């Protein structure tokens, strides 16, 4: 039997605003929510009270908010908290999508809860929401040494790696209807095998 979990009402893509960062590995979360908006006819608009850009989409008759915080990565929680509070969305119904150093490009993994693993966007989100939100981790690979991480995530991946990251995001987007229905088990089975 598939594992049931809370239904996702808000998908947050983590990234940094501006052209300078648009194609960097750290913006994989933005790429994901952009893909959802493209697939399901949503369009992002600036929402000052949420410190970000917001879109709404409907998948299989279920409404979902898509959020891109415009606060820069280190203050992502400010935007997420503002929207979640306004719409009364509990942390367990939020999916945060982010770049993941511990997975190779082309892999995507789902999980509920956990720590920040050194990711500053997750660290700030945990600061305001606690740990009980869902995560979609989009692998970007690791540069090999911790001192090289900042330059690595803030640079563009080679074309083949970027395509692998985008392909993994596409595969994860194929699973969104299950996440909106709370069927995390089915989504994980599809992504993790």
CA atoms within 13 A on the CB side of 72: 3
- State the number of CA atoms in the 13 A half-sphere of 57 facing the CB: 23
12, 80 Cβ separation under 8 angstroms: yes
- 108 φ, ψ to 5°? -135, 140
Residue 186 has what DSSP assignment? H
Q: Which of 26, 65, 98, 119 is catalytic?
A: 26
DSSP H or E segment with residue 38? helix 28-40
The alpha carbon dihedral of 148, 153, 154, 156 has a sign of positive
Tokens 């509990």 locate to 90
* Catalytic residue list contains 26: yes
Structure tokens, 189: 């089975």
Active site residues: 26
């Amino acid at each position: 039997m598939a594992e049931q979990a809370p239904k996702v009402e808000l998908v947050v893509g983590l990234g940094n605003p501006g052209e300078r960062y648009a194609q960097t590995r750290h913006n994989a979360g933005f790429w994901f929510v952009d893909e959802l908006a493209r697939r399901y006819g949503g369009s992002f608009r600036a929402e000052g009270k949420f410190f970000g850009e917001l879109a709404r989409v409907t998948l299989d008759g279920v409404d979902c908010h898509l959020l891109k915080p415009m606060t820069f990565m280190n203050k992502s929680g400010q935007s997420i908290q503002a929207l979640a509070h306004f719409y009364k969305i509990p942390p367990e119904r939020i999916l945060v999508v982010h770049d993941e150093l511990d997975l190779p490009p082309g892999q995507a993994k789902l999980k509920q809860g956990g720590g920040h693993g050194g990711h500053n966007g997750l660290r700030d989100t945990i600061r305001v929401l606690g740990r009980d939100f869902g995560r979609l981790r989009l692998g970007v690979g690791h540069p090999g040494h911790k001192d090289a991480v900042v330059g690595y995530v803030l640079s563009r991946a080679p074309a083949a790696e970027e395509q692998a990251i985008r392909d993994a995001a596409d595969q994860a987007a194929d699973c969104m209807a299950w996440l909106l229905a709370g069927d995390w088990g089915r989504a994980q089975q599809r992504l993790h095998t």
